[in-house]
Amino acid sequence: MAHFKRDPGPIISGAVLVDKPQGPTSFNVIRSLRKTFGQREIGHLGTLDPMATGLLAVLLGKATKLADYLVGDRKSYRAVFLLGLKTSTFDATGAVEDGAEWEGALGLFQSEGLAASLPPALLASFPDEEKARAALDSFMGEREQRPPNFSAIKVGGVRSYDRARRGEDFLLPKRRATLFESELEIYRPPFLALRVTVSSGYYIRSLAQELGEALGLAGGVALSLRRLSVGDFKVEDALSPTATKEEFLARLIAPRALLPRIPEITLPAEDLARITKGLAVAADALVLPGPGQFPRPERIALGEPGRALPQGVVKIVDDAGVLVALAEVGYRQSGGPDARLTSPGGKDALSPARPFLRPKRVFAENALG
């Protein structure tokens, strides 16, 4: 049963950027936006923990079909770690499991921030900044990372955090994840502030725990975490989740603009009609380029003399510049169960290594601007 009143108008498609405050879950924000827009067709491009703040990129309407092409974008964060403490959640909300002598630093951070200091005797053996930087650098690049048990990962259809809350004893399998960039901004033991750019699926909380262990400590916890960007989207352009529908619409990002690095293709009317029906079309007049031939987005008319068809995925737009579909560019040898492509002239498109466009996502009924 819907818990919002559906707007009788057309479904809104596009993206809005939300600056999530500390406290609510990402789903809480989505539920609120469904009421704001009066539609259920809303999803986000990556969960933020309740304790985290910052950018939540939200897709609306038929733009949710683009999620698969956006969820893998790099994400950047600013975080503050408390090193020396280990909790069940790898953040300040969990039960202390080790390093209880550092638990008092939690209150110092909350009341005084990184300017807080602890008794010199407690800090005497704490690693110096040079060692902290070296330890952080050791995590650069792609590596295996174990997600925290208190996470939204599903195992056997059950959320990991539900199992953890029931007190089950388990470890999630490690996953490949990448730390692309890191910058240690402030090091004031036992606190460390940093900025990082990471791949999708990377857990900053796990980095806090692993960094503490690498320094010979019990672990580390994320005291604060703020997402600054997702791909090309910046938190500076985001609105509060309590913004009005009109305020969000004033900053609505059109679906066509969500994939700026994917080249655009225009098609003759006959081919456009086939694509909107989910049918592949031949690309007789074009040849496939080598890798890297199209480093920037371009709008290419199908059949334009001397132009090559980009490999991979392309956006298909109509003459008005409206996004109609995403299509996969490929070629095939003659034969095969679905190798017959009929060109607009009615000729059999079957021939060795002929390029073609196969629709991957179609927005036929209401093309997206």
Contact of 283 with 250, CB cutoff 8 Å: no
Coil vs helix vs strand at 62: helix
From 7, 19, 49, 284, active-site residue: 49
Dihedral (C-alpha) 32, 33, 38, 43: value to the nearest 10 degrees? -120
Distance (Å, rounded) from C-alpha 33 to C-alpha 57?
A: 12
- From residue 368, alpha-carbon distances to 79, 125, 363 in Å are 37, 60, 7
Distance (Å, rounded) from C-alpha 147 to C-alpha 236?
A: 29
Catalytic (active site) residue 49:
yes
Contact of 230 with 47, CB cutoff 8 Å: no
84 backbone dihedrals φ, ψ, rounded to 5°: 105, -20
CB atoms within 10 A of CB 333: 11
- From residue 122, alpha-carbon distances to 84, 119, 218 in Å are 11, 6, 14
Distance (Å, rounded) from C-alpha 58 to C-alpha 95?
A: 32
What is the three-state SS of 172-217? CCCEEEEEEEEEEEEEECCEEEEEEEECCCCCHHHHHHHHHHHCCC
- Active-site positions? 49
